[in-house]
């Protein structure tokens, strides 16, 4: 232990009379220890914004907080708030998985040093006494933090046995904190990757999402790729590491994919779409005189993306959005010869509210090192967006619908609700997309001709 000054980010919690000091005094008077631990201490030393304040003690406090959340009580954790400040209070513990379990079984400890020994990494095995700013750092976490080095307090095999999700968390810290994993950590990830099988899809999904939302997820993605950890929950990733040959040369799809992810903004839907946009390529790869082909990989990839996201328990709205982006990510390239108004309308109609994300994905999908080719694609994308803006000023592109509604169609054709009404609406919608706005009189005339042709 060592006395120290309080990092500026934590200063408000050590102010006399603050809720944190009230809690410290309450526990001290009852004969209990109380420490700030984990990510909040780590981020304070990095001068990063604090998201959660984690407190470790050997007691659970009742009757003090303004509000108390007990959902995690069975795991020795309660959430509470006092004076507008939120805390997560955890009893000293060691989380231990059983081989057949998908949820951690909690074993409790009696002192902070034992608690810290079972934390995931040394940079998170830091504790700051709440009643007196004394740092507890038995595993050199502060030194590792300064050196940007990722180690486990005990042997990595023990840490990953306790909670296999820590292997994926290592990749997240590599991406978000810029740390270098110790060789023994990397080796243990490769050796124990199958252990991830006992972790629930929901926990894996949350950790993967955090990794993808790093400013640049590249190093984390490469880590789960080269250790083959990704094979346990995202086997499509390494499948994109296609074998190349001197005759049919093509870009490595995996390297291209990770580069595209890094170029996109940290929006989960866009990042997932970037990660999965080319997963259909391995199944559609073919060889032709002109080189390698991947015909219809966007269609195959959209289906694969949906299946994978459902398996990872992503919400339906995210599954639908990412699937659509994967399916549409090549649409732009069909417009190389120029865009008709009809083509622009269909592009906007099909993209719907995902239009900004689709345009971003399309721009970022260009990872060529050929400046002329990259400039040409950017120019065409600029032209398309200008055309969209121009038409949007004249028409409500995002709300394109047939000139006549279902009631008008039924009254004009003298038919009851049924499939014919839907067919008529689809016909009028195609006219609207092809020809732009039309008057109701023109729409009725075209509908009459359509009905006569069908002998209605």
pLDDT, tens digit only, all 456 positions of the chain:
555 568 888 888 888 888 888 888 888 888 778 888 888 899 999 999 887 778 888 665 556 666 656 555 555 576 667 777 777 777 776 666 666 666 666 665 567 888 899 899 999 999 998 888 889 999 999 999 999 999 999 999 999 998 999 999 999 999 999 999 999 999 999 999 999 999 999 999 999 999 999 999 999 999 999 999 999 999 999 999 864 444 445 558 899 999 999 999 999 999 999 999 999 998 878 777 767 777 778 889 999 999 999 999 999 999 999 999 999 998 887 766 667 888 888 888 889 899 999 999 999 998 877 788 888 888 888 888 888 887 777 666 666 788 888 899 898 888 889 888 888 888 888 888 778 888 888 888 888 888 888 876
Q: For residue 15, what are its two tokens? A: 């102010």
188 and 100 inside one domain:
no
Which residues in 232-255 are b (16+ Cβ under 10 Å) and which e? bbbebbbbbebeeeeeeebbebbe
Residue 105 has a CB neighbour count (10 Å cut-off) of 10
Half-sphere exposure of 309 toward its Cβ, with a 13 Å CA cutoff? 28
The CATH number of the domain holding residue 215 is: 1.10.110.30
- What is the reported pTM? 0.81
62 and 130 inside one domain:
yes
pLDDT at 26: 83
18 and 128 inside one domain:
yes
Q: Which of 127, 147, 167 is the last residue of a domain?
A: 147
Which residue is it, tokens 């040394």?
Answer: 122
Task: Quote the number of domains for the chain.
Answer: 4
The CATH number of the domain holding residue 143 is: 3.30.460.10
10 and 143 inside one domain:
yes
247 and 382 inside one domain:
yes
139 and 272 inside one domain:
no
309 and 351 inside one domain:
yes
365 and 272 inside one domain:
yes
User: Are the C-beta atoms of 304 and 310 separated by less than 8 Å?
Assistant: no
Q: Which of 147, 163, 192 is the last residue of a domain?
A: 147
Q: Domain limits at 426?
A: 401-453
User: Are the C-beta atoms of 202 and 314 separated by less than 8 Å?
Assistant: no
Q: Which of 358, 375, 398 is the last residue of a domain?
A: 398
Distance CA 54, CA 213 (A): 22
Query: Sign of dihedral through CA atoms 324, 331, 237, 363?
Result: negative
User: Are the C-beta atoms of 299 and 327 separated by less than 8 Å?
Assistant: yes
96 and 175 inside one domain:
no
390 and 436 inside one domain:
no
Dihedrals phi, psi of 319, to nearest 5 degrees: -60, -50
Distance CA 211, CA 205 (A): 10
User: Are the C-beta atoms of 112 and 99 separated by less than 8 Å?
Assistant: no
> What is the DSSP secondary structure assignment for residue 418, as one 8-state letter?
S
User: Are the C-beta atoms of 45 and 123 separated by less than 8 Å?
Assistant: no
277 and 300 inside one domain:
yes
Phi-psi region of 114 (alpha: psi -120 to 50; beta: other; left: phi over 0): alpha
User: Are the C-beta atoms of 64 and 29 separated by less than 8 Å?
Assistant: no
> What is the DSSP secondary structure assignment for residue 154, as one 8-state letter?
S
User: Are the C-beta atoms of 222 and 258 separated by less than 8 Å?
Assistant: yes
195 and 269 inside one domain:
no
pLDDT at 173: 98
User: Are the C-beta atoms of 383 and 376 separated by less than 8 Å?
Assistant: no
């Amino acid at each position: 232990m060592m006395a120290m000054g309080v990092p500026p980010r934590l200063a408000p919690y050590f102010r006399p009379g603050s809720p944190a000091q009230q809690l410290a005094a309450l526990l001290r008077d009852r004969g209990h220890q109380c420490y700030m631990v984990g990510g909040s201490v780590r981020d304070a030393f990095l001068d990063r914004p604090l998201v959660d304040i984690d407190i470790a003690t050997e007691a659970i406090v009742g009757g003090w907080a303004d509000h108390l959340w007990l959902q995690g009580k069975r795991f020795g954790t309660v959430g509470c708030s006092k004076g507008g400040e939120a805390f997560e209070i955890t009893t000293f513990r060691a989380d231990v998985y059983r081989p057949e379990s998908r949820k951690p079984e909690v074993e409790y400890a009696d002192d902070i040093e034992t608690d810290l020994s079972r934390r995931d990494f040394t940079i998170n095995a830091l504790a700051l006494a709440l009643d007196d700013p004394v740092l507890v750092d038995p595993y050199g976490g502060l030194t590792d933090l300064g050196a940007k080095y990722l180690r486990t307090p005990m042997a990595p095999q023990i840490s990953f046995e306790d909670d296999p999700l820590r292997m994926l968390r290592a990749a997240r810290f590599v991406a978000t904190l810029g740390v270098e994993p110790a060789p023994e950590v990397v080796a243990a990830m490769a050796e124990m990757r199958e252990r991830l099988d006992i972790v629930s899809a929901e926990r894996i999904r949350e950790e993967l999402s955090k990794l993808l939302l790093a400013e640049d997820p590249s190093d984390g993605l490469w880590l789960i790729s080269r250790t083959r950890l990704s094979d346990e929950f995202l086997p499509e990733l390494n499948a994109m590491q296609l074998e190349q040959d001197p005759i049919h040369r093509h870009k490595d799809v995996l390297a291209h994919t990770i580069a595209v992810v890094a170029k996109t903004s940290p929006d989960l839907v866009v990042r997932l779409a970037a990660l999965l946009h080319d997963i259909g390529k391995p199944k559609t790869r073919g060889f032709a005189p002109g080189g390698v082909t991947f015909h219809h990989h966007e269609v195959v990839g959209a289906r694969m993306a949906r299946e994978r996201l459902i398996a990872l328990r992503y919400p339906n709205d995210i599954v639908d959005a990412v699937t659509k982006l994967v399916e549409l990510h090549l649409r732009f390239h069909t417009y190389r010869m120029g865009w008709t108004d009809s083509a622009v309308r269909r592009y906007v109609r099909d993209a719907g509210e995902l239009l900004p994300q689709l345009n971003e994905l399309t721009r970022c999908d260009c990872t060529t090192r050929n400046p002329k080719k990259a400039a040409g694609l950017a120019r065409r994308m600029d032209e398309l967006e200008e055309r969209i803006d121009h038409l949007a000023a004249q028409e409500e592109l995002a709300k394109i619908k047939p000139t006549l509604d279902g009631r008008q169609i039924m009254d004009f054709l003298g038919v009851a609700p049924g499939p014919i009404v839907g067919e008529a609406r689809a016909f009028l919608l195609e006219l609207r997309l092809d020809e732009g706005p039309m008057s109701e009189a023109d729409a009725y005339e075209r509908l009459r001709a359509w009905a006569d042709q069908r002998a209605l």
